[in-house]
């Protein structure tokens, strides 16, 4: 870990935990990681990867059945108004085995590929965001994924078949006073004296599905371990049965959007968990969480891309139909620009999401950077495009779907989509945290080569590091300026206009690598405190990556004789160039220092809010479980009521 005198002791402790939990080994070259080192390798994205025919057929069949069920049973507008997923929807999800989409066949699941899993999630989201979020939280970060990746054979045999039968899971990480800094976690897991079990105590906030979950993955602090003479906090992961004594739901949280999700505040009081329910190993909880999220994060960009695709299709029809001042809305220059942005953005978001799904299905590729980028990029762009569509549609965008239907208007749930979409920039790692994560990974090659110069290493180690760094940078840095003479023919297979865009992106990739290096040299260890600077560097990398993917997909379509999207792709590429230019300009011309000074002044004169307390909350009865054997809605406290119609 690099020393930084600007850090507080708490920041040092948090960074130590985060660094210890990082995946340090790369099992493959990363397309996006390479961009930050000045290497745009077009071979990694072209031809653009397509889903295998056999796997596509499996997905087509399941999506057809899910779509037929959803058309009849899944009323997203009604679910949003009631703030409740009705019993017949829970039953349908279970009968279709959608709670076991990623569970292997051997354990009774559907064994879907990542691509097909994302296709089903996106399809369900088109009908109801709350239902899609319920499925995603259960499968992407809930019990099935960690067990699939790290569970012992005994754990898999004990728990995975339950999801095929309809059991629901949740992920419990966040706490009332702990968000993006898990090192500050207060929930504890203490080993029993006889070593047979752990005793968990604490509270978990914003636990999606927690109100109705049968099983939870709970992150908790286990006893500290001494590293280099200092205690280091250990976070471990446990599978907890929700009916274990001491597990209490004390509040169901209500939100702006996704109003029907069963998200709650969970209290753990002397909860005894068998030692066999520890997942991976003691102290490996955050490593498990980060590895799980590599694939788990891909659900959000897939859903975002699919929703914007549907939105683009509707808005194109509406912009053609709605007339103002004697012309179609989409024919006016302001309307044309908005319509072009929505459609081009949908194409770019799909290219990024589909590429990540293909990487995941390969199974031999390290996609931590790509997954975080997709989550960040699609959630932010999607939000901007939904807002743009609402502005283009005007009052009809702000009006609810049910109200539009009642007036006989062509309806689209744009108002509900806007509310549901906003959480994407927050959940499963905020986009701000994604930028910090990506910045750390972008810096990793440099820290590996020169990091010892800024740490506690001895003089001999520092001199050896200096010699190796000089040898590497002596060859690497000049190539960033002379790269125009290398790989001249790598774009020969591309259409002339697409090749022109890729050559520009290649030049900008080398400029990006130089910029990051210059920032490191100029700021030294203080660079980690320049979060806005790092964010701009990350955003440039994301823009260049998506530009390359858009060009690769467009060319692959041209290779198949398809030219439908070439104008869409070209518009996106030209717009991206403007954004990259603005980001480079902002690196040198910004108000970062002024913002920090103003915020400091404002906080010095403000009164702090009182500390959070949930002591006054009493446990809630668990609700809305579905007994498939009777078809009835079974409340967790034992009462049985008829299923909702």
Catalytic residue annotation: 428
Tokens 């520009």, located at residue: 504
Q: Which residues contact 91 (CB under 8 A, 6 or more apart)?
A: 626, 628, 631, 643
Per the CB < 8 A criterion, the answer to whether 308 and 300 are in contact is no
Per the CB < 8 A criterion, the answer to whether 323 and 16 are in contact is no
Per the CB < 8 A criterion, the answer to whether 247 and 265 are in contact is no
> E strand or H helix at 627, and its extent?
strand 625-627
- Strand 230-241 and strand 188-191: the pairing is unpaired
Distance CA 82, CA 452 (A): 58
> E strand or H helix at 436, and its extent?
helix 431-450
Cβ neighbours around 149 below 10 Å, total: 15
Classified as helix, coil or strand, 514 is helix
Where does residue 449 rank: exposed (0-12), middle (13-18), buried (19+ CB within 10 A)?
middle
- Please give the angle made by the CA atoms of 141, 415 and 84, to the nearest 5 degrees: 50
Tokens of residue 415, six digits:
């108002």
- Strand 215-227 and strand 169-172: the pairing is parallel
Tokens of residue 136, six digits:
């995603």
Classified as helix, coil or strand, 3 is coil
Tokens of residue 126, six digits:
């088109």
Distance CA 588, CA 581 (A): 12
- Strand 632-634 and strand 323-324: the pairing is unpaired
Classified as helix, coil or strand, 222 is strand
Q: Which residues contact 404 (CB under 8 A, 6 or more apart)?
A: 396, 410, 411, 412
> E strand or H helix at 501, and its extent?
helix 496-523
Query: What are the Cα distances from residue 319, in Å, to 40, 205, 312, 330, 402?
Result: 38, 43, 10, 5, 21
User: Among 361, 382, 322, which Cα is nearest to 122's?
Assistant: 382
Classified as helix, coil or strand, 241 is strand
Q: Which residues contact 572 (CB under 8 A, 6 or more apart)?
A: 344, 345, 347, 348, 547, 550
CA 457, 461, 466, 469 torsion: positive or negative? negative
């Amino acid at each position: 870990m690099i020393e930084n005198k600007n850090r507080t002791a708490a920041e040092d402790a948090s960074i130590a935990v985060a660094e210890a939990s990082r995946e340090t080994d790369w099992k493959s070259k990363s397309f996006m990681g390479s961009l930050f080192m000045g290497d745009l390798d077009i071979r990694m994205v072209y031809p653009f990867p397509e889903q295998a025919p056999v796997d596509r057929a499996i997905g087509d069949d399941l999506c057809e059945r899910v779509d037929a069920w959803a058309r009849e049973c899944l009323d997203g507008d009604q679910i949003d108004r009631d703030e409740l997923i009705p019993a017949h929807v829970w039953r349908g999800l279970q009968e279709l085995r959608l709670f076991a989409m990623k569970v292997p066949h051997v354990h009774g699941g559907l064994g879907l590929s990542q691509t097909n899993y994302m296709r089903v999630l996106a399809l369900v989201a088109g009908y109801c965001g709350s239902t899609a979020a319920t499925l995603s939280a259960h499968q992407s970060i809930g019990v099935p994924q960690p067990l699939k990746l790290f569970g012992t054979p005994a754990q898999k045999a004990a728990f995975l078949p339950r999801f095929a039968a309809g059991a629901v899971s949740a992920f419990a990480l966040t706490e009332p006073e702990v968000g993006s800094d898990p090192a500050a976690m207060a929930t504890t897991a203490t080993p029993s004296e006889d070593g047979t079990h752990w005793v968990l105590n604490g509270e978990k906030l914003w636990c999606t599905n927690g109100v109705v979950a049968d099983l939870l993955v709970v992150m908790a602090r286990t006893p500290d371990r001494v590293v280099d003479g200092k205690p280091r906090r250990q976070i471990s992961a446990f599978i907890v049965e929700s009916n274990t004594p001491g597990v209490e739901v004390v509040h169901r949280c209500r939100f702006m959007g996704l109003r029907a999700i069963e998200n709650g505040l969970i209290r753990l009081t002397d909860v005894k968990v068998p030692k066999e329910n520890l997942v991976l190993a003691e102290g490996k909880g955050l490593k498990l969480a980060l590895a799980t999220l590599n694939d788990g994060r891909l659900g959000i960009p897939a859903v975002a891309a699919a929703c914007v695709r549907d939105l683009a299709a509707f808005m194109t029809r509406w912009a053609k139909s709605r007339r103002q001042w004697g012309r179609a809305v989409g024919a006016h220059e302001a309307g044309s620009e908005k319509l072009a942005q929505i459609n081009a953005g949908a194409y770019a978001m799909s290219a990024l999401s589909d590429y990540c799904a293909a990487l995941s299905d390969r199974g031999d590729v390290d996609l931590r950077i790509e997954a975080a980028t997709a989550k960040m990029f699609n959630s932010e762009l999607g939000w901007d495009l939904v807002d743009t569509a609402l502005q283009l549609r005007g009052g009809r965008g702000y009006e609810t779907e049910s109200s539009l239907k009642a007036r006989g208007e062509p309806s689209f749930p744009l108002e509900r989509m806007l509310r549901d979409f906003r959480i994407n920039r927050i959940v499963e790692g905020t986009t701000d945290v994604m930028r910090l994560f990506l910045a750390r990974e972008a810096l990793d090659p440099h820290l590996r080569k020169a990091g010892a110069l800024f740490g506690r290493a001895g003089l001999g180690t520092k001199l050896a590091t200096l010699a190796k760094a000089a040898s590497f940078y002596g060859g690497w840095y000049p190539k960033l300026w002379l790269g125009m003479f290398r790989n001249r023919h790598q774009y020969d297979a591309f259409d002339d206009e697409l090749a022109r865009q890729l050559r520009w992106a290649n030049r900008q990739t080398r400029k990006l690598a130089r910029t990051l290096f210059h920032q490191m040299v100029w700021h030294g260890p203080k660079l980690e405190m320049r979060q806005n600077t790092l964010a701009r560097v990350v955003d440039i990398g994301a823009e260049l990556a998506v530009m390359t993917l858009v060009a690769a997909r467009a060319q692959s379509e041209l290779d198949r004789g398809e030219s439908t999207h070439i104008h869409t792709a070209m518009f996106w590429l030209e717009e991206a160039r403007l954004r990259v230019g603005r980001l480079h300009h902002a690196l040198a011309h910004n108000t970062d220092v002024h913002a920090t000074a103003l915020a400091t002044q404002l906080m010095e004169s403000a009164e702090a809010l009182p500390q959070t307390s949930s002591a006054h909350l009493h446990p809630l009865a668990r609700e809305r479980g579905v007994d498939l054997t009777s078809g009835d809605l079974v409340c967790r406290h034992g009462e049985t009521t008829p299923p909702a119609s």
